[in-house]
A and B are shown apart, each in its own frame.
Chain A
Amino acid sequence: MSARSESPEIVIRPHVENFIDWSVDKPKVLVLTADLTNSCEVGKWSDTYPDRYFSMGMAEQNMMGFAAGLAREGFEPWLHTFSVFLYRRPLDQLQMSVAYPNLKVRLVGFLPGIATPGGVTHQSIDDIAIMRVIPNMTVLEVGDATEVESVLDIAHAIDGPVYLRMLRGEVPRLFETPMEFNKARVLNRADDNINEPADIVILTSGICTEEAMRAVPAMVDRGLKVTHLHVSTLKPFSDPTVTAALTSARKGVITMENHLVTGGLGSAVAEVMAENAIAVPLSRIGLNDTYAHGASLPYLLKEYQLDARALVDRAEALTGLSLSIPDSDLAETRVAALHSEAKAEAL
């Protein structure tokens, strides 16, 4: 699939109606929120199913416990709040009340990484790292509107707690087929056979996939053999397609994530490479031991070198080639107006 010459369809608040429709025949599904109901696109859900919606106020530690109790009684609570508030303050409660007993609590976290102008307090740059080390936890991250829609069934089917790194507002539709559990999407193949050598293998997650999809076609055009995988299941991380693709890398592997380079996708890939003795360089794109600050997404992607250009630079460094790709070939970054009508309610 190439996204270079065509702008993807932009879906406005895909979670709102989809989650309402999806919940209609699932009476055990409840929603708990902590004062960010409209901000997490469940305001209409709460109007539609008032008997299944519970406001817990700005009190996330207690919300974890209530969710645990409800899950023990056979319900499936879907907690909706910003990602940071699901694992920073209430981490002990998340671990002892929810994760240890392996309860079917769904932690739906919005504003992944630097995808918010809300600044350091609202930017979940370490959530994947922390969630990945919690026993019993499943970690999912969506990259487009189709995944926002199809991730619900995946989370619903898991017998245990699930952390879901979610997107809101204006979300591009990059994929036509539903997300599959523990299965990476192969967006570009160096060869029809995934086992055939590739110059570089690129693995991306979340909103970084769209950035990579701007750069990969340009690199391919210049003769680079690139395999590009989009990863939406961060834990477990045992997809044989990933291992096969990594094994096919000749010059190196690049990971690209809206997260610290420690503990997230880059680390997960490093573990697989080490365990399988895949001896090529690994270059991790992400935040490098730094917090970020409040600014627009395109600004921050550029500042922290998380954009399409950064990927080209890394590919050049790994291969020793000069690809001579002008900015015009990296398709303009889609800009969602900061205060557009489609943006969810205030922070």
Chain B
Amino acid sequence: MAVQIGKMLAPEDIASATTMAENIRYRVFAHVMANNGGYLSQACSAAELLATLYTVANLAPLVSPKIPEPFKQVPGKGAAYLNGGDFHGEMGPDRDRIVVSPAHYALVVYAALIETGRLEASALEQFNKDGSTVEMIGAEHSPGFESTTGSLAQALSTAGGIALGRRIKGESGLVYVFMSDGEFQEGQTWEALQALAFHKLDNVRVIVDVNKGQCDGPMSEVMNIEPLSLRIRAFGCSVDSVQGHDISTLATALTRPTGKPHFVLAYTDPVRGVPVLNERAPNLHYLRFTGEEERQRYANAFAQMKVGR
């Protein structure tokens, strides 16, 4: 059997990642309650994905959690531009990279960074505040974002270029990409897949939150992408389709050597841990309370989650 790609998870790693996922979900729910709405479903679906990714990836440790700097300027306007990739620690030839594609998951990414000790918990107080880099749909000055990915389906191509550049330089580190399933509706994603396969970039490992929902509603009604695994395989990449809330399964799929650009399709539950969200299904993209009555139901659900901890 070929050697595993990436870090082998010990039982204690799996236990800590499981806790991390629960904390991500809890932290985002708390934030949504405090701010009267937000991207909650994305935390429900992706908590285990990001917990696994940040556990598996070989990132340089930080001395202490970073406090995000206020927004200063966009790139190219003189002074050095701060990059959200700094929260992933110092880059190195053997270090992995994490490229976050759907910037709409920013709140969940920030929560994951907090849970991994890379971002000060107080940073969420700056979320979506004027003058802050902890933006709602961030750019590459936002914590955890190496590139600017609010226009969806562009990060995979950039990650491909990063992976190609790293191969030219002889670097052994991997390029992990976190994607959402809606991005497979964009033609660029398939252009990227064919290029990854054509240039044999097996240092790219992609984990996809297949939560089957998008802004307009269920993907099956907006634009079908299934059978996704067959489509990806037909493009020359390897695929594992897994249940998206089992850390051990996710980690195994993510680190399985395939010799090809690899995709882990994590089929997730968009209301995981917050069943009250089912009332809104399938329109889960953004939670904005319709009134005090609905807000109270979520407050009760949050109180229950708090008690269960």
Whether B169 sits at the interface, judged by CB under 8 Å, is yes
B269 at the interface (CB under 8 A from A): no
Decide yes or no: A73 and B160 within 8 Å by CB, A57-B194, A100-B139, A100-B148 being known contacts: no
By CB atoms of chain B within 10 A, which of A63, A69, A70, A160 has the most? A69
Stretch binding the partner chain, chosen from B48-56, B150-158, B230-238, B254-262: B150-158
Residues of B within 8 A of A69 (CB): 157-165
Known: A72-B165, A96-B148. A62 touches B75 (CB 8 A): no
Contact (Cβ within 8 A) B162 A73: yes
A-B pairs, 7 with minimum CB distance: A69-B161, A65-B157, A73-B165, A102-B76, A62-B191, A59-B191, A66-B161
By a CB distance below 8 angstroms, the chain B residues around A92 are 151, 154
Q: Chain B nearest CB: distance from A30 CB in Å?
A: 8
Asked if residues B156 and A65 are in contact (CB atoms below 8 Å), the reply is yes
Interface of chain B residues 62 through 102 with chain A (CB within 8 A): 74-76, 81
The minimal Cβ–Cβ distance linking B294 to chain A, given in whole angstroms, is 35
Answer whether residue A74 sits at the interface, using C-beta atoms and an 8 A cutoff: yes
Task: Tell me if A188 is interfacial: C-beta within 8 Å of chain B.
Answer: no
Q: Does B168 contact A (CB under 8 A)?
A: yes
Q: Kindly list chain A residues whose C-beta atoms are within 8 Å of the C-beta of B139.
A: 100
B169's closest neighbor in chain A, by CB? A73
Interface residues of A in 91-110 (CB under 8 A from B): 92-93, 96-97, 100-102
Q: Which of B140, B146, B165, B192 contacts A62 (CB 8 A)?
A: B192
Query: How many B residues are at the interface, by size bracket?
Result: 20 to 34
Would you list 19 pairs from A and B whose C-beta atoms are within 8 A, ordered by A residue? A51-B168, A57-B194, A61-B187, A61-B191, A62-B195, A64-B157, A65-B155, A65-B188, A69-B157, A69-B163, A70-B164, A72-B146, A72-B165, A73-B165, A75-B165, A92-B151, A96-B148, A96-B151, A97-B154
A178 at interface by CB-CB < 8 Å: no
Q: Which residue of A lies closest to B150 (CB)?
A: A96
Chain A's nearest CB lies how many Å from the CB of B186?
Answer: 9
Assuming the contacts A74-B165, A101-B147, A160-B76, asked whether A68 and B188 have C-beta atoms less than 8 A apart, the reply is no
Q: B272 within 8 Å of A by Cβ?
A: no
Rounded to whole Å, the gap between the CB of B259 and the closest CB of chain A is 20
- Judge whether B161 and A72 touch: CB under 8 Å: yes
> A67 near B: Cβ within 8 Å?
yes
| Residues 64-91 (chain A) with a chain B CB within 8 angstroms | 64-75, 77
Contact of B74 among A71, A93, A100 (CB under 8 A): A100
> Closest approach, in angstroms, between the C-beta of A24 and any C-beta of chain B?
17
A175 proximal to B (CB < 8 A): no
Contact yes or no, A66 B195, CB < 8 A: yes
A291 beta carbon closer than 8 Å to chain B: no
Chain B 122-151: CB-based contact to A (< 8 A → 1; otherwise 0): 000000000000000001100000111011
- Interface presence of A56 (CB below 8 A): yes
Interface assignment of A240: CB less than 8 Å from any CB of chain B: no
A residues whose Cβ falls under 8 Å from a Cβ of B = 51, 54, 56-57, 59, 61-75, 77, 92-93, 96-97, 100-102, 135-136, 159-160
A95 to B160, CA, bound (A): 18
A66 and B165 CA atoms in complex are apart in Å by 9
Query: Known: A102-B76, A136-B76. Contact between A97 and B191, CB under 8 A?
Result: no
B165 in contact with A70 (CB, 8 Å): yes
Q: Does B288 contact A (CB under 8 A)?
A: no
Shortest CB-to-CB span from B271 to chain A, Å, is: 31
A contact residues around B147 at 8 Å (CB): 68, 72, 97, 101
- Cross-chain contact B194 with A59 (CB below 8 angstroms): yes
A66 touches B154 (CB 8 A): no
Most buried by A among B166, B191, B195: B191
Nearest CB of A to B19, in Å: 33
A68 and B161 form a contact (CB under 8 A): yes
Determine the chain A residues whose CB is within 8 A of the CB of B155 once the complex forms.
Answer: 65
The answer to whether the Cβ of B297 comes within 8 Å of any Cβ in the partner chain is: no
- CB-based contact A65/B154 at 8 Å: yes
A160 to B157, CA, bound (A): 19
Which one, B76, B140, B160, B198, contacts A65 given CB within 8 A? B160
In addition to A64-B157, A71-B161, 5 A-B residue pairs with Cβ atoms within 8 Å of each other are: A65-B157, A66-B157, A75-B168, A101-B76, A102-B75
